[in-house]
Amino acid sequence: MDSAFEVPGSESVETLTDGARGAVGRLVRRQAPLTAVIRLRAERLPGPYGALRLRLTIENRIIPDGPLRRREDGLRFALIAAHALIHVPGGRFLSLTDPPEWAAPYAEACINMATWPVLAGPEECRELVLSSPVILYDHPRIAAESAGDLFDSTEIDEILTLRTLALTDEEKREARATDPRAAELLDRLDGLPPEMLERMHGAIRYLGPPAPAAAGPPGNGVPVAGRPEAGQPAAATQERSVPWWDPGSDTSVSPESDHILIAGVRVARGSRVLMRPGAHRADAQDLFLAGRSALVEAVLLDVDGNVHLAVTPEDDPAADLQRNHGRFLYFAPDEVEPLGGADMTGAQPAAAQPFLAFRAVHSSEPDTGGRNDRQASQGSAHRGSAGRHRPVAP
């Protein structure tokens, strides 16, 4: 289905005044006419689910009245920041960010050029999709900390506010001249109180309780001591008096006392191991760690059930400084070799550090098969998984 649309050209004149002197000039704004076509195609996917894949294309049909030698020339005829809002009454869209397992291969095959489609409307709504030039999460909402709408009321306020405030006086004058709304936005941001800007910097939201722990051993088939057995209620389902990102929200998890068995050897906090970086590494600097000994600082379990070891190289002259800042190296159990006897519970590190648990579940980074940043901040060892960023959660 093809549907053409046009935006007519226009011209407006604004009189510029200067107090007692009255009119001192005129500001003429001209908008070139725009012509475009919306193309919509539907393709039935194989399988028993009866799913359809929609293909939406917004095609610019404008023929410029002269050569486009500069970017500014092309902007007059561009469909800047075109948004698509798709409604299927009685239908149900699947999230591209978090699709069901059966639909994951089809979601990964979707190609989005200069646009980001997400579920829109209230949380329970599945009939509406918003596709915008700004990366969003499903069911985006305007945060209470926002001082007012900026571009399209869905973007990251702090980033755009800081970028706007960084404009030169000349750039601000040019932006004010584009239209009255841009002038109002700049005036509001120029007079933004510091406390309003500070509110945009971040907020903690209680996103609800985490899912119950899956039955069976965690990832890689490595058993972790202290985990709930199959059929037992997980501690994560306890009363939500503690937020999910706080280590106290799951009392079955204890990075300082949990242990795992590697080649029949008990490895826990304080154990000594040899670092053996695997073959699927994305960071060439891991080669410098091969064969060096390290001290295990904690046994961590991420939200996918995979086990990670936080370690500190024993020959690192800044080991105490890194430990005090909670910065460690992270390895999978098959990337280390135990040192010592049958029981690897060694001397405890000098300074015990708390591990902050958090989850960031939406990311556009693909799974590279390895960790790019071997040395991560406290409690934030990142591991790619099916196109998601999964920080380690103790």
pLDDT tens-digit profile of 133-163?
888 889 988 777 777 777 666 667 788 888 8
Total-model pTM: 0.47
In-domain check, residue 212:
no
The whole-number pLDDT of residue 155 equals: 62
Distance, in Å, from the CA atom of 99 to the CA atom of 102, rounded to the nearest integer, reads 8
Token pair of 345 as six digits? 């519970």
pLDDT computed for residue 17 by the predictor: 80
What is the mean predicted confidence (pLDDT) over 33-53? Answer: 90
263, 364: one domain: yes
Please report which helix (H) or strand (E) contains residue 188, including its range: helix 180-190
pLDDT at 4 over 80: yes
**CA–CA distance from 233 to each of 215, 254, 321 (Å)?**
10, 17, 39
Q: Are residues 351 and 225 in the same domain?
A: yes
Last residue of a domain, one of 113, 136, 154: 154
How far apart are the C-alpha atoms of 353 and 256, rounded to whole Å?
A: 9
Mean of the pLDDT values across residues 341-362? 37
Q: Are residues 366 and 280 in the same domain?
A: yes
**Are 248 and 229 contained in the same domain?**
yes
Instruction: Report, as an integer, the average pLDDT of 177-191.
Output: 84
- Tell me the backbone φ, ψ of residue 306, rounded to 5 degrees: -85, 145
Coil, strand or helix at 75? helix
Structural domain count, the chain: 3
Q: Which pair of structure tokens corresponds to residue 290?
A: 């091969």
pLDDT band at 27, cuts 50/70/90?
A: confident
Task: Flag whether pLDDT at 276 surpasses 50.
Answer: yes
* Mean predicted confidence (pLDDT) in 183-192: 86
Q: Are 179 and 283 contained in the same domain? A: no
Residue 214 lies in a domain: no
Residue 176, domain extent? 155-203
pLDDT at 380: 33
